[in-house]
Each structure stands twice: as C-alpha cells, then as structure tokens.
C-alpha cells in the first residue's frame, strides 16, 4: 500500500477555489496563510503515510483485545499515539485557552481525510474526543471546561459518544439508561450502551464518556433525554485522576472491519455523572457533537476512496494483461498495462473525478463551519450556519457511498488479487463499510435532508443557494451544469409539494434525492475548479480542466435519470404492500 497525501490539490482548493482571504477575515485566523497551511498539511501527510499506514494491516490482523477486564490496542498503536499527541495533532482546531492551536476547521477536515485514508481504526481513538471537546467547550460550565478540556486537547484524556443501546439505534427516544439526582449536583447513571467507539482502551489516562440518559419523571421519547459527562476515572478537585467510576466494559465487538478500533459494550452501574446543558435538552446538545462527527465520517469515506484510487492506479500502471486497443502503447510486448484498457481507465477517472469533486465540496462547506463560528456579521454567520446544516447530511452520505463505490472499484481493478488479503484492498472495503452506517445511517441522513433541510429558515436558504448556483452555471455558459441544477430544482419542488400530500412518497425517494443533490452541487464545484484552472499553465491545471469535462459528460448526466425516478416512481413503491412480501 502506498499513500501520497494530496497536498497540492488541497492547497489549490484552499487558495484558488475558496481563497484564504475568507478565512483571514475571521477573528483569530488573521495570520493563517498559505505557508502555514501547506506546512501543516505536509507534516500531517508525512505522519499518515510513514507512521499510520505501516500499522494499518497489523491493526486489522491483531485487532483490539478485551482480556481480564482491560482493553488493549493492537501492536504499534500506543507508540504511534504517543507521537500523535506529542506532535499536537489532537489540538489542531481547539481553543488556545485550553492549549489548542486554534487553526481553522477546514484545515482539520483535510487532516481527517489523511488519517482516515491511512488508518481509520487508529484515527477513531482521537476522533470522538474532538467532537466531545467541542461539545463541552460550547455547553459545559466553566469549572468543567477548565478541569477537563486541557487534557482532552493534549490527548492524554479521550472522549466517547454514548448514545446507542441494544434496542435504541436510530430511534434514540427509545433509550432506557436512567439518571437519578444525588442531591449534591451530581447524578447516578445506570444502564447499558453498545457499539461505543473507543469506549475503553489503553492509550489515554482517562476516558470521558458523554452519555445520554433519562431523568426520573422526564417525558418519554426524545424530549426527555439529558446529557451527562461520566468519566472512566473520577477527577479530583486538583484535576488529578482519582477513583474508578462505575463504568465497566462488558465486551468488545467482533466485526467486519476497523478491527483495531475497540467498539465496546459499556455498563453504567451507579456511575457518577455531571449534567451537561439543560435537563431534557440533551439531544440538542448532542447534535453539536453528531454534526461534527458526520462531517468527519464524510472525510473518512473520502480518504478511503482516495487511498483505494491511488493504489488501483499504481497497480494499473504496473500490471500487464491482454492487448490494448490500437494504437498499442507497447506493440513489442505480449500484453499491455491494464491502464490502457479503456474500461480500466474510465473506472480510474470516475473515481478521481468524484474524489476531487467531493474534496472541493468539503473545503467549500467546512470553510462555512469556520465562518459560522467566527463571522462578526450575524447574517453572514446565519447563512453559513444554514449551509453547513444543508451540507452535513449530503457530505456524510455521498462521501461514504463514494468510499464504498471507490474501494469496490479499486478492488475490482486488482482482479482476484483484490480479493486476497496481500494487497490490502479487501481491508479497505471492509474498513469503509462502517462509514455508511454509523453517525446515523445514510438513509437517515437522506431523511434529514428532505424533512428538515428543505423547510423553515434552512429551506428558505436552500432556495437562494440553489438559485445562486444555477445563475453561476448560466453565467459560465455551462449547459450541462445548468441542466443538472434544473433537475435538482425541479426535484426539490416535487419533494416540497409531496411533503404535504404524501409523506411516504417523499421518504421513498429521499436517498435518490440526496444523490441528485450531491451530484448537481459537485457539478458546480467542478465548474468552479475549471474556472479557477482556466488559462493556467502546467499539467495540474490541464488535468483539472480535463477531469471537469469528464465529470460533466460521464457522471453528471445521472441527475436526469434520478429526477425521473424521484418524480415518477411513487406508484411503483406504493403499489406493493408490505403484506405482499409474505405472498
């Protein structure tokens, strides 16, 4: 396996697609410049390919272990984690008051892509910590922030997100975990959580669980959920690690992929917890963390797509089979490199066009997460907020689906050699599979898009947003992108119309609508990249123009068939009753 961090592409997006000035206008980011961005990305890329990639297969083969009540990480993970935190990678976009570097989120997600590409199982040990950190920084009282956050930024303590229970996955309103007030401001937490990423491990001195539970007498469903901080070890007044809290690791899961990541079943037995935010408002607080995680999961899918593409390309440039169509590049050889087979070339280009387009969408969207947080103009911040809300389900679903599509395509390009373990392609497929499932399955993201993001204030923003991009495509005289945007606008109008009349019809096409949305917006990204590359010398810019052409001619036309299935498929679904499955 090889991995070359796509730093040149990332820098192109930061400096020529969106422009660093947009970041430099934000308080706290005035000094963020090209050389700093490039240096950080180069270093992250080096760490990912030289430290994380070499232990990726070991992590898969060895897995995390649960023995005698303790969870251990695979060989090499501890050493890599020590280096990871010494280099400061756990505090990239954290508050400098807590020891963080205060760098933009858009830089962080690009690093996320590299870590996800090279060793997703390792990455997960710090991933939830970041979401937990930002949640606590936004929501927790000062004394908790001061006591806990510096250690999270330093990476010596990690965080988890404890939502799922055996019978409560997507529908968290069904949860059973209970919280009882102790009368001294603390709470007793009792219940069982499953599938908790990094719920226990040997990399940090303490683990801070963010647990959702129901207080006695609270309303049923999602309106009665509160959020608690439950440390593995209680923390003394002076900030030192104290007694073990009532959190027990019952088991770890044996799973299809990310085997080096410990996915834990945790029992909370009279564990001491601290209320975070208001009573019964826990899910709203938790969504702050979940939205960050959804963007991060998107970058996992993108990273895995990219490493799969890079290795498939290397293989196609090395493997000789069959004769290619005339004119044959190596007419003196018995067989040509498989990259000269047009079908192989098309598959590689399809991967690359989607990967680079998705990366552009990531930079564009997460830049708005920075604007949303720091812009001084309230209306600019509000628009950025709507854009991030709109793009979160789109990125999470489309990028993780792309991860699956690209890892499978790359595996296909290896032929039978992709199926065996040696080259690592089958591990990429297995590791990527989780990205479409956790942080809310992709179906649930699609539902979020059609039911929440097309209505209310975000819905009004969405209309403006779609019109702006349609006008941009018209101004640029790009008929393929104009058509795709018109398909999206027509599908949006249909979804809105049906929402009142036939909710089932809308839900039945939500995933198709999300895909149409993603393709059309990525078409706009390609148009913007092509415009940025116009008139510039060098193969990098020439390739951008060529791949933009490939995207609009080979991938974007799918929006037309999606529009047809979205608006025309209602009777086909409704005509078959659930009871008919039994016939």
Ligand X SMILES: Cc1cc2nc3c(=O)[nH]c(=O)nc-3n(C[C@H](O)[C@H](O)[C@H](O)COP(=O)(O)OP(=O)(O)OC[C@H]3O[C@@H](n4cnc5c(N)ncnc54)[C@H](O)[C@@H]3O)c2cc1C
Active site residue 205: no
Distance CA 478, CA 111 (A): 33
Distance CA 570, CA 497 (A): 13
State the nearest-atom distance from the C-beta of 97 to ligand X, in Å.
Answer: 27
Distance CA 582, CA 579 (A): 6
Q: Which residue has the tokens 């590359």?
A: 533
State the nearest-atom distance from the C-beta of 200 to ligand X, in Å.
Answer: 12
State the nearest-atom distance from the C-beta of 263 to ligand X, in Å.
Answer: 4
Interacting stretch for ligand X, rule CB under 6 A, among 20-28, 350-358, 360-368, 440-448? 440-448
Q: Does 163 bind ligand X (CB under 6 A)?
A: yes
Longest Cα–Cα distance of the chain, Å, equals 85
Nearer to ligand X, 94 or 296 (CB): 296
Nearer to ligand X, 448 or 480 (CB): 448
Among candidate residues 51, 439, 468, 475, the one labeled active-site is 439
Per-residue binder mask for ligand X (CB under 6 A), 381-420, x = binder: ----------------------------------------
Nearer to ligand X, 163 or 402 (CB): 163
Q: Does 221 bind ligand X (CB under 6 A)?
A: no
Supply the Cα-derived Rg of the chain in whole angstroms: 24
Nearer to ligand X, 306 or 448 (CB): 448
Task: Taking the CA atoms of 386, 388, 390 and 392 in sequence, report the sign of the dihedral they define.
Answer: negative
Q: Does 443 bind ligand X (CB under 6 A)?
A: yes
Let me know: does 234 contact 245? Beta carbons within 8 Å: yes
Nearest residue to ligand X by CB is 169
Distance CA 478, CA 475 (A): 8
- Span 247-266, contacts to ligand X by CB under 6 A: 255, 263
Per-residue binder mask for ligand X (CB under 6 A), 8-47, x = binder: ----------------------------------------
Q: Which of 164, 354, 365, 411 binds ligand X (CB under 6 A)?
A: 164
Let me know: does 241 contact 206? Beta carbons within 8 Å: yes
Q: Which of 81, 125, 148, 195 binds ligand X (CB under 6 A)?
A: 195
Structure tokens at 422: 């040696």
Distance CA 315, CA 296 (A): 29
State the nearest-atom distance from the C-beta of 54 to ligand X, in Å.
Answer: 23
Let me know: does 547 contact 356? Beta carbons within 8 Å: yes
Structure tokens at 334: 């018995």
Q: Does 495 bind ligand X (CB under 6 A)?
A: no
SS (H, E, C) 207-272: EEEEEEEEECCCCCHHHHEEEEEEECEEECCCCCEEEECCEEEEEECCCCCCCCCCEEEEEEEEEE
Task: Taking the CA atoms of 546, 395, 140 and 88 in sequence, report the sign of the dihedral they define.
Answer: negative
Q: Which of 7, 161, 262, 491 binds ligand X (CB under 6 A)?
A: 161
Q: Does 447 bind ligand X (CB under 6 A)?
A: yes
Q: Does 513 bind ligand X (CB under 6 A)?
A: no
Length of the chain: 583
Distance CA 129, CA 151 (A): 10
Nearer to ligand X, 195 or 309 (CB): 195
Task: Taking the CA atoms of 169, 434, 554 and 464 in sequence, report the sign of the dihedral they define.
Answer: positive
Interacting stretch for ligand X, rule CB under 6 A, among 162-170, 241-249, 303-311, 573-581? 162-170
Q: How many CB atoms lie within 10 A of CB 38?
A: 16
Nearer to ligand X, 310 or 397 (CB): 397
Interacting stretch for ligand X, rule CB under 6 A, among 161-169, 396-404, 467-475, 552-560? 161-169
Let me know: does 410 contact 351? Beta carbons within 8 Å: yes
Torsion of CA 217, 219, 222, 226, to 10 degrees: -30
Nearer to ligand X, 106 or 264 (CB): 264
State the nearest-atom distance from the C-beta of 440 to ligand X, in Å.
Answer: 6
Interacting stretch for ligand X, rule CB under 6 A, among 99-107, 133-141, 314-322, 435-443? 435-443
Q: Which of 197, 311, 400, 427 binds ligand X (CB under 6 A)?
A: 197
The SS3 assignment for 96 reads: helix
Q: What is the DSSP letter of 165?
A: B
Q: Which of 192, 412, 441, 543 binds ligand X (CB under 6 A)?
A: 441
Q: Does 170 bind ligand X (CB under 6 A)?
A: yes
State the nearest-atom distance from the C-beta of 284 to ligand X, in Å.
Answer: 16
Distance of CA 97 to the CA centre of its chain: 27
Positions that interact with ligand X (CB under 6 A): 128, 161-164, 169-170, 195-197, 255, 263, 434, 437-441, 443-444, 447
Active site residues: 439
């Amino acid at each position: 396996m090889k991995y070359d961090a796509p730093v040149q592409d990332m820098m192109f997006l930061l400096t020529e697609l969106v422009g660093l000035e947009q970041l430099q206008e934000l308080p706290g980011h005035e000094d963020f410049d090209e050389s700093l961005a490039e240096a950080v990305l180069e270093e992250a890329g080096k760490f990912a390919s030289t430290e994380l990639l070499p232990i990726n297969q070991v992590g898969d083969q060895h897995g995390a272990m649960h023995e005698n009540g303790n969870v251990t990480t695979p060989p090499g993970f501890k050493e890599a984690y020590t280096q990871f935190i010494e280099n400061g990678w756990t505090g990239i976009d954290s508050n400098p008051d807590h020891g963080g570097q205060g760098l933009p989120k858009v830089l962080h997600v690009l690093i996320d892509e590299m870590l996800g590409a090279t060793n997703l199982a390792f990455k997960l040990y710090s991933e939830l910590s970041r979401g937990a950190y930002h949640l606590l920084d936004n929501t927790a009282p000062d004394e908790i922030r001061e006591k806990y956050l510096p250690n999270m930024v330093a990476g010596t303590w990690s965080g988890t997100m404890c939502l799922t229970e055996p019978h409560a996955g997507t529908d968290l309103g069904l949860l059973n975990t209970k919280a009882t007030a102790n009368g001294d401001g603390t709470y007793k937490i009792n219940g069982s959580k499953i599938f908790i990423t990094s719920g226990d491990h040997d990399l940090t001195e303490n683990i801070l669980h963010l647990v959702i539970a129901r207080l006695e007498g609270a309303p049923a469903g999602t309106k009665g959920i509160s959020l608690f901080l439950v440390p593995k070890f209680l923390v003394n007044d002076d900030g030192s690690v104290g007694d073990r809290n009532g959190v027990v690791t019952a088991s770890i899961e044996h799973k299809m992929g990310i085997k080096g990541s410990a996915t834990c079943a945790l029992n909370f037995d009279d564990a001491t917890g601290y209320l975070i935010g208001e009573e019964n408002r826990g899910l709203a607080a938790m969504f702050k963390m979940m939205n960050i995680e959804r963007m991060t999961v998107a970058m996992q899918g993108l990273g895995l797509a990219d490493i799969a593409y890079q290795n498939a390309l290397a293989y196609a440039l090395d493997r000789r089979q069959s004769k290619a169509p005339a004119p044959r590049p190596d007419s003196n050889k018995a067989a040509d490199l498989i990259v000269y087979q047009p079908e192989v070339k098309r598959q590689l280009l399809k991967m690359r066009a989607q990967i680079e387009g998705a990366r552009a969408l990531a930079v564009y969207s997460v830049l708005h997460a920075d604007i949303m947080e720091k812009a001084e103009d309230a209306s600019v911040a509000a628009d950025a907020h709507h854009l991030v809300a709109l793009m979160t389900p789109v990125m999470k679903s489309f990028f993780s689906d792309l991860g699956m599509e690209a890892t499978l395509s790359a595996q296909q390009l290896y032929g039978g050699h992709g199926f065996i373990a040696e080259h690592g392609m089958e591990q990429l497929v297995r590791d990527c599979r989780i990205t479409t499932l956790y942080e809310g399955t992709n179906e649930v993201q699609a539902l979020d898009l059609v039911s929440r993001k097309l209505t209310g204030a975000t819905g009004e923003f969405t209309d403006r947003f779609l019109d702006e991009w349609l006008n941009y495509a018209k101004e640029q005289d790009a008929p393929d992108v104009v058509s795709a945007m018109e398909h999206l606008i027509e599908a949006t109008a249909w979804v809105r119309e049906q929402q009142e009349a036939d909710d089932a019809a809308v839900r039945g096409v939500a995933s198709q609508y999300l895909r149409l949305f993603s393709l059309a917006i990525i078409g706009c990204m390609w148009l913007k990249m092509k415009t940025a590359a116009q008139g510039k010398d060098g193969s990098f810019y020439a390739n951008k123009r060529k791949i933009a052409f490939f995207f609009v001619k080979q991938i974007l036309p799918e929006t037309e068939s999606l529009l047809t299935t979205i608006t025309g498929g209602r009777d086909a679904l409704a005509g078959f009753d659930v009871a008919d499955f039994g016939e």
